[in-house]
């Protein structure tokens, strides 16, 4: 039995002598590498925090104390130390372990977190909440109270919400520990002045620099009285590395470090002293992203969240990594189309928020460094920056995951739509995203953007339609526009050239069922018309093929969720043709809702319009294929919906659907 198999809870870890903790670290790394190589997942971030996580659980009791993750993708070691080793072999599936903190799995996970910047603010909230309820740690009045710790990355610390959290953390009158995990990396290289500050700190500050004259320096800096008092209360290890010049000190926080994040005894000593501080503190920990796997250390961006891979040793070429290709992705298609636009038009500018590889903008950043920008994890800033560029007469394209656009909705409203500025949003990972699960699904971008007057919202079904949508947006200067596309491979179903996008006009994918001359033998009409927004159109075509000879199904690529093709909706409903709307988006406020609203506004009977998309419930981690099947957006599920609609008695009352309960992991852990 391996040492990790003997650890059923952190109490078992704390029963081990410190000398054996390196064995635990080796075992954790081997398990994570082996599993991610088989299934994919977040690799480099987790390898970088193994020793830090071990030390945290060795010093604190997080069954009682509070541990909050900022970016949840570095939680694998934490999960393996809190009784979930048996779930690792089905990582990122419904039957196994989520790739992010998941309260349904364990009481040790306090929040589902997949968006950066939130950890400090929720930690401040729990610190205040425990103080109000009398549960908070106080070295004099409640030494057995709950302590609060949050683990934050050096790239996410610059996020606006993180800054707001720091500003409020400095007003606390009790213990709260912020661990700054500084690995010099986000998903890619961190951007901005704060990142450059950390680079200088790593180079210039040594143990001796901090220790020499620390007390005298503290007396001469603003706020030095507070820091001097903290210095006297700290243990010798912490005193040695208290930084009087840290920018954290300007927030009223005691800051110590940087320290080696891979030396467990040092980590334990510092954490043990920080545990008993009676004021908020930042411990700056230097780690190596991808630690323990040479290829991940050398290319942490590629191994941030890789697909399954194999490592092969070649006598001539050395170590080689093989990752199976899943076909050409929408991300790659977008990246190539963006570069083409930038080559054609010098007014085109682009931005991403710490996701150059994930959004396909790496090539644009390299080839057009004066017109393409990575802002770091700062979506709100990026969109405001794009608004400023639009005001200067440029043509901005902001490439962002759908789930992260939510962080910049206020900017989409205030600085873009309200001003009538032509900023173009390119939403990768729209819809269900697979293994990342509920924290990353892009299920509400249409719902939030559709509320903005004069916004134009489009979706792509394949690579030619994505290029056509971008060409349309390039020429659309009347205000905010958007195109959405999934984390998936592009379909080659339609080999012909894609017709240009026309504002508010759908595209018929089954010309044999054109309404003007139905094309059906005997001059009939389609049994059902499918209006599909985005890639569900491809699945609808497969469903139509499956039903051939049983039902006549016309399929439309709706193209626009705002404005929708009102003329088409009117034509279908006045002919009495049942309409099925499809979308890889929530049924609440999405494309189907827009169709129903349009029918109502035109005074049409919409009783035979059936809205089908992501149901009003949380869809947990699994493959994207499995998730689409779960919600009925695969070909088989769409075929079922078509049958129900085609066979329904138009005079019969429509049943009220039963509410769907929230999905539960198969492990049953709660």
* Residues known to be catalytic: 289, 379, 407
The residue whose two tokens read 């106080």 is: 138
Rounded CA-CA distance 249/244 in Å is 7
**Residue partners of 495: CB distance under 8 A and separation at least 6:** none
> Which residue's entry shows tokens 């419930």?
617
Name the nearest CA neighbour of 553 among 569, 564, 537. Answer: 537
Say how far apart CA 430 and CA 420 lie, in whole Å.
24
Nearest alpha-carbon partner for 486 in 504, 506, 453, 460:
460
CA angle 438, 489, 510 (to 5 degrees): 105
Cis peptide before 238 (omega within 30 of 0): no
Query: Within the chain, how many helices (H) and strands (E) appear?
Result: 27, 19
Q: Give strand pairing partners of 589.
A: none
Query: Rounded to an integer, what distance in angstroms lies between the CA atom of residue 336 and that of residue 350?
Result: 13
The runs of H, that is alpha helices, within 15-118 are: 21-39, 44-47, 50-59, 76-80
- Beta strand pairing call for 254-260 and 507-508: unpaired
Smallest CA-to-CA distance from 47 within 76, 67, 24, 82 is with 76
- Sequence-separated (6 or more) residues with CB below 8 Å from residue 292: 29, 33, 47, 50
Residue 209 CB partners (closer than 8 Å, separation 6+): none
Beta strand 395-401 with 348-352 is parallel
Nearest CA-CA partner of 258 in 157, 179, 335, 351? 179
Q: Which residues, 6 or more positions from 18, have their beta carbon under 8 angstroms from its beta carbon?
A: 58, 264, 265, 268
Where do the H-state alpha helices sit in 407-462?
409-411, 445-449
Q: What tokens were used for 14?
A: 């704390």
């Amino acid at each position: 039995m391996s040492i990790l198999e003997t650890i059923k809870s952190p109490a078992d870890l704390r029963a081990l002598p410190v000398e054996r903790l390196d064995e635990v670290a080796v075992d954790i790394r081997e398990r994570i590498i082996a599993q991610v190589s088989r299934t994919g997942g977040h690799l480099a971030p987790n390898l970088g925090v193994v020793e830090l996580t071990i030390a945290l659980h060795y010093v604190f009791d997080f069954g009682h104390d509070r541990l909050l993750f900022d970016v949840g993708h570095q939680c694998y070691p934490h999960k393996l130390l809190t009784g979930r080793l048996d779930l690792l072999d089905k990582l990122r599936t419904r039957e196994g372990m989520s790739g992010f903190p998941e309260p349904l799995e364990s009481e040790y996970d306090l929040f589902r977190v997949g968006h950066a910047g939130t950890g400090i603010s929720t930690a401040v909230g729990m610190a205040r909440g425990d103080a109000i309820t009398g549960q908070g740690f106080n070295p004099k009045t409640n030494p057995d109270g709950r302590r609060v710790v949050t683990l934050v990355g050096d790239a996410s610390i610059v996020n606006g919400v993180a800054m707001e959290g720091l500003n409020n953390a400095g007003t606390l009158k009790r213990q709260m520990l912020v661990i700054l995990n500084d690995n010099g990396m986000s998903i890619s290289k961190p951007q901005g002045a704060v990142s450059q500050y950390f680079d200088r700190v790593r180079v210039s500050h040594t143990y001796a620099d901090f220790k020499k004259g620390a007390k005298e320096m503290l007396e001469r800096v603003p706020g030095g009285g507070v820091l001097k008092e903290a210095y006297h209360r700290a243990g010798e290890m912490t005193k040695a590395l208290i930084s009087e010049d840290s920018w954290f000190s300007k927030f009223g926080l005691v800051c110590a470090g940087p320290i080696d994040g891979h030396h467990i005894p040092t980590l334990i000593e510092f954490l043990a002293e920080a545990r008993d501080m009676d004021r908020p503190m930042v411990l700056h920990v230097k780690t190596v992203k991808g630690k323990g796997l040479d290829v991940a250390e050398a290319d942490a961006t590629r191994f941030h969240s890789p697909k399954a891979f194999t490592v092969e040793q070649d006598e001539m070429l050395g170590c080689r990594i093989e990752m199976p290709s899943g076909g050409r992705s929408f991300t790659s298609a977008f990246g190539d189309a963006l570069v083409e636009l930038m080559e054609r038009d010098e007014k085109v500018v682009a931005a991403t928020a710490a996701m150059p590889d994930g959004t396909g903008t790496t090539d644009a950043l390299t080839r057009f460094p004066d017109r393409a920008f990575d802002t770091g994890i700062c979506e709100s800033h990026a969109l405001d920056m794009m608004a400023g560029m639009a005001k200067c007469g440029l043509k901005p394209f902001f490439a962002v995951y759908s789930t992260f656009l939510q962080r910049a909705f206020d900017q989409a409203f205030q600085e873009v739509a309200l001003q009538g500025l032509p900023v173009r949003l390119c939403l990768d990972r729209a819809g269900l995203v697979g293994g990342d699960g509920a924290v990353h699904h892009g299920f509400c971008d249409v719902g939030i953007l559709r509320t903005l007057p004069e916004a134009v919202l489009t979706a792509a079904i394949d690579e030619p339609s994505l290029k056509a949508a971008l060409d349309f947006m390039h020429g659309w200067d009347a205000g905010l526009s958007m195109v959405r596309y999934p984390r998936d491979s592009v379909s080659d179903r339609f080999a012909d050239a894609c017709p240009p996008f026309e504002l508010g006009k759908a595209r018929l994918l089954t010309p044999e069922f054109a309404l003007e001359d139905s094309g059906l033998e005997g001059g009939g009409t389609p049994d059902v018309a499918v209006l599909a927004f985005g890639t569900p159109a491809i699945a609808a075509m497969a469903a139509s093929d499956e039903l051939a000879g049983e039902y006549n199904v016309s399929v439309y690529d709706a193209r626009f969720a705002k404005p929708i093709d009102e003329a088409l909706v009117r034509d279908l409903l006045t002919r009495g043709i049942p309409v099925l709307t499809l979308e890889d988006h929530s049924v609440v406020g999405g494309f189907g809702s827009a169709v129903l609203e349009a029918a109502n506004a035109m005074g049409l009977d919409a009783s035979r319009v059936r809205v089908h998309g992501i149901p009003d419930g949380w869809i947990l981690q699994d493959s994207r294929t499995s998730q689409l099947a779960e919600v009925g957006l695969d070909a088989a599920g769409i075929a079922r919906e078509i049958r129900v609609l085609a066979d329904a008695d138009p005079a019969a009352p429509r049943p009220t659907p039963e509410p769907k309960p929230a999905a539960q992991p198969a492990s049953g852990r709660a």
